[in-house]
Amino acid sequence: MKSKRIIFFVLSVFILSSFKEDSIKIYHNGWIDFNKNGVKDVYEDSKANINDRVTNLVSLMNINEKTCQMATLYGFARVLEDELPTLEWKNRVWKDGIANIDEHLNTIWNQEKTHTSLSYPYSTHAEAINKVQKWFVEETRLGIPVDFTNEGVHGLCHKKATSLPAPIGIGSTWNKKLVHKAGTIVGREAKALGYTNIYAPILDVARDQRWGRVLECYGEEPFHIAEMGKQMVLGIQSQGVASILKHFAVYSIPKGARDGDARTDPHVAPREMHQLHLYPFKRVIKETKPMGIMSSYNDYDGVPVTASSYFLTELLREKYGFNGYVVSDSEAVEYVSEKHHVAKDYKEAVRQVVEAGLNVRTTFRTPESFIEPLRALIHEGKISMKTLDLRVAEVLKVKFRLGLFDNPYVENPKESDKLVHTKADEDFSKQINRESLVLLKNENNLLPLNVNTYKNILVTGPLADEVSFTYSRYGPASNPSTSVYQGIKNYVKDRAYVSYVKGCDVVDANWPESEIIPIPLSKEEEKSIAQAVEQAKKSDIIIAVVGEGDEQVGETKSRTSLGLSGRQFQLVQALYKTGKPVVLVLINGQPLTINWENKFLPAILEAWFPSASAGEIIAGTLFGDYNPGGKLSVTFPKSVGQIPINFPYKPGSHAGQPGKGPNGSGNTRVLGALYPFGYGLSYTSFKYNNLLVKQKTKNSQSNIEVSFDIKNTGEIAGDEVVQLYLKDKVSSVTTYESQLRGFERVHLLPGEIKTIHFVLKPEDLEILDKNMNWTVEPGTFEVLIGSSSVDIRLKEEFNVF
């Protein structure tokens, strides 16, 4: 009670010092008179049950106020024209309130129109958000606070917030504790800046490597995604901020990976949908109770997800127990009529999505564009008041859970300057960057490089002195970034001479047509590559930084080829011909078909899209200050002609071709992955021993304990990601060859041995049987322990009766 009194006292002092005299009357000791009637209504009573508060508030609302709680107002320079409230706001639809305001005053790095002086310093932003919130509390009839939303998939999308690597890099850490810490940082920074709801994590299962948003996913395997996503949600929501999962559902596998103007027709069978694409959502919802879900704009089997009561009501709420509110992805409502053509017009689309279970329409259009047709549908009797009240109640319940009706403001804006992007946060950013690196090849232990051995170092490639990939539409803006070239120069200092030649651009003038039609190099391209070769001949070692830029990957961008784009391959080949050792550093957002590079170059380091400290952490890793221990969370194909090729997979689906028998006609296609799921090398080596599988009973509902030893058999400390796979030997339906069911990132000193423990629960053994029921069938199971999905070191069987 004492702590509560202190909070209310601080709140009162803040209000008295910030608000005008005639507005103080609504602020009382321990409660706020939101509806300005001089009475503490149930919804204003912090001691009342949340459900009672919601019911009371809904009973006081008119149709205009209810419909306003079902739309997003996009923030400054997207839809909202003003940074702070104006008199004109009294003439706009949000005079009756609004569900949420998205990305207000956050500053997006590559959208100059969003840049504002109110985003930084942090305290300035917190004060600005308070002023906006104050308007809604004081100037609307019922004073319903706003839920301020923002993106946060790899660091909060705000100017100078803590920078994190792209989600595919976060997924490559396989470090659950690290991901939880990342979530707490995103949540803490959001809370300090006035954001109350964060669009993260992305739980899409990236099964097609050509898809442009692979870099925004944790990977391709549902158990791995669920484990990482769970930790991110727990971290974010531990700070009193809501987490919104996206994109629900079956969003990440459009036909042929075609995104952009397509966004339809995912080719996924029902059982596969539940076992792969819905699995992370089901688990994260049940285990973390997230407060939000974003519905996707694709269809499934001809029905738009955002207009599907099966997805938004039956699955989400009735089966998974989701208890938050559902927002639409941009244009998901509009697509129901404009793209999917299952509604005769937009107004009918609005009716369908509201009936299906959508709570809040979110897109880059005015809120009036949704609220006005919604009101018309209600007046025409095409949407019932019962449905409207239910949708609104689900939004309000989240606002009550967030404490917005008890403390709607950032309590101490000045404190924000101490809470966002601290020195400890910056150190963490570097650590998660390091752990995201994956060593793909290291022939004859070329890496780590000895700085005293190489006196002339060439750093080349179109991404060697570039930093644009360290920023993102969905991440922080304006943090100082270090390129790989600058990072190596800073590391080496005066111990060696470091030169730089760009060599070529990321893409050529004819790209992407040049991916399917070979076009001779221009004179300028030949000259640029020749300059790099000339410098390479004078150097002792070459560090080539190649891959993809921010213009080649991301939302609405998918690729036809996965080879190095533009003239990068020709540059790499020319460098190799000099006879000097070439270390390839990959900056990319999706797996690349680097077959020639893997065969001929001695060392390859996968860096994905790192954050602002890119140059520093890559340089330190190349020269041995850090031993890379990340593992791939996506399969690298050898050719796009192999796609789909990913993990897990059904028996025989990745098989070869018969060499004998009536159909033995010889080899006609390339087989196998370039790098499999879970793959990653180290500067040291590890040995696995002593696998034990213990069952208290052989009953299908018993837990199974698994333990084994892992030893660092090398000469330097390093991390190993130990992986547990489970194989169902015989089942009533065809199951996957094996499935990931446990993993742990382990740090080991030279010679150190640790015993690792896993517990398999009944749900880890479940399959969807013939009748589409989740069940544990009796039979024999095999535990597989290894360093990747194919590098299995230990095996043991057990039986379930």
What does each C-alpha distance from 410 to 97, 101, 126, 164, 406 come to in angstroms?
A: 19, 16, 6, 25, 12
- Nearest CA to 731 out of 774, 789, 695, 696 is that of 774
- Which single residue is written with the structure tokens 């690729």? 559
Distance CA 299, CA 453 (A): 58
Distance CA 436, CA 434 (A): 5
Q: Are 765 and 781 in contact (CB under 8 A)?
A: yes
Contact 757, 705 (CB under 8 A): yes
Angle between helices 176-193 and 122-139 (to 10 degrees): 60
Angle at 761 between CA 755 and CA 766, to 5 degrees: 130
Q: Residue 252 — φ and ψ, nearest 5°?
A: -90, 10
The vertex-615 CA angle with 609 and 621, nearest 5°, equals: 90
- Hey, is 432 helix, strand or coil? helix
Q: What are phi and psi of 179, to 5 degrees?
A: -70, -40
The secondary structure of 169-233 as a DSSP string is HHHHH--HHHHHHHHHHHHHHHHHHT--EEEEEE------TT-GGGGGSS-S-HHHHHHHHHHHH
Catalytically annotated residues: 329
| The Cα angle at residue 740 between residues 737 and 742, in degrees rounded to 5 | 150
- Residue 705 DSSP SS3: strand
Helix 279-288 and helix 222-237: axis angle, to 10°?
Answer: 30
Instruction: For residue 58, give the amino acid letter.
Output: V
Instruction: Tell me the C-alpha to C-alpha distance, in Å, between residue 99 and each of 93, 112, 367, 394, 499.
Output: 12, 26, 10, 11, 54
Structure token digits, residue 226: 């669920």
CA distance 469 to 433: 14
- In the β-sheet with 292-295, what is the strand arrangement from edge to edge? 72-74, 100-102, 147-151, 197-202, 242-248, 292-295, 325-328
Pair type for strands 456-460 and 303-304: unpaired
Q: DSSP H helical segments within 253-345, as ranges?
A: 270-272, 279-288, 309, 332-338
Residues 166, 611: Cα–Cα separation, whole Å: 7
145: Cβ contacts below 8 Å, ≥ 6 apart = 133, 136, 137, 399, 404, 405, 408
Please return the burial class of 401, using the count of CB atoms within 10 Å of its CB with bins 0-12, 13-18 and 19+: middle
Name the nearest CA neighbour of 166 among 128, 213, 109.
Answer: 213
785: which residues sit within 8 A by CB, 6+ positions away?
Answer: 688, 691, 706, 708, 722, 723, 724, 725, 792, 793, 794, 795
| Residue 549, beta-bridge partner list | none
Rounded alpha-carbon distances, angstroms, from residue 734 to 269, 271, 318, 700 = 13, 10, 28, 19
